Structure formats: structure tokens, C-alpha cells
Amino acid sequence: MKMSGFNLFAAACVIALGGGACGDYSSSDESHNIRPRDSGMAGRPATPEAVVGRTSYVGMRYSALPSGFSYEAGSTISRGSGGASQYAVSRVRTPRGNMLWLETIEPRDGRGAAERVVRGELRVPPLAADERLMIGSCDVKGRLDVRVVAIVVADSGVTRLTRIRQAWRADPTAGRFDLLPVADIVCEEPGS
């Protein structure tokens, strides 16, 4: 029996259903947006313990990273409207590898540390020995854009990095990282 491309895709979806691997995702596909009211989870976002067996950390709520996780670097993103919470892009080493998380930082009204909620994630590709991941210090067409994350070739003695291998822009409204063309992106070493 000959199967059409659609039937093969449908069969693969049935097999991979538990892993959430199906769907025709594009950056304009609104069904994949993660918003505070639509975190893809019933009720409150999950505790770190509740996401251990999942294929995604989206929806995890924490005030301190659990055992097995470590914060590597990050940058905050202003919400712009004076809202109580703000966004952050964080590079986190997880049991599933290095990841970028797009998070909301929610104050706790004097009741302790702020809570973070993972709204979007991106697995960081393996970096070559001469590559670095830059967060919040890249210009696009000559203007600083703190939402941009880029893999750059780290030439020694150079503070303006122009050899960009790959770049993404965090989209707080949609809860995702959108792939960017690397033309017109320049990153600077922090503090230079």
C-alpha cells in the first residue's frame, strides 16, 4: 500500500504523540504562542519537580533553580508599559542540555524572592571552540536590541564581533525565539 506524504505525517504524529513532536510550526503560527493566560498547562505553572518527565520546561515556575540546573548568563528585557513583571532571557544548563529560556519575572510583594516562569525555550546548539553565545549586547542595523541572542565567532582582541553564525530574537508576547537573518547584526563584548 502506498502512503501519501500527509498519511506518513499523520502516522508519525500518532507514533510521536506523547512527545509533542507533531505540528507544522512556523513563527507566525499563533497556536504555538505561549501567553500567561495560555501556558499550555492547566491551572498554575508547574513546579520544577512536576516538569522532570516532560519534553519542555515551558510553564515551570521557580524562585531558585532546582538541583541539576545552573544559571550561565542572561539579560532582562523591559516590559515597556510599566507593568509589575518584566522579562528575562536566561542561558541555563539543564539536565537536557544548554537552553535559552524566555521568562517572566514576577515580584512577590515583599514575600521573598521574585518568581520566574518559563514562557519559551530554545535548545542552544553545540558551540565550536571559537564560538560564544551573546545575550543582550547585539545591534541590528545599528540599533541595540536586547532581545537578540547570537552565536558569534570570538576573534581574540576584538570587541566588536561581526562574524555571526546564528541569531534569534526573543518575542515576549508570543513566548518564543524567532530565527533572524545574520546580516546587519553586530555584537559587542560587555563592558567594552
| Exposed e or buried b per residue across 2-21, where buried means at least 16 C-beta atoms within 10 angstroms of its C-beta | eeeeeeeeeeeeeeeeeeee
8-65 per-position pLDDT tens digit? 333 333 333 333 333 332 333 332 333 333 333 334 456 666 666 667 899 999 988 9
Separation between Cα atoms, residue 58 and residue 14, nearest integer Å: 23
Separation between Cα atoms, residue 86 and residue 125, nearest integer Å: 26
pTM higher than 0.85: no
143-155 per-position pLDDT tens digit? 999 999 999 998 8
Nearest one of 61, 159, 158, 39 to 106, comparing CA atoms: 61
> What is the rounded end-to-end Cα distance, in angstroms, of the chain?
64
Helix intervals (H) in the chain:
5-16
Inter-CA distances, 107 with 63, 116, 117, 185, Å: 10, 9, 11, 33
Separation between Cα atoms, residue 102 and residue 79, nearest integer Å: 13
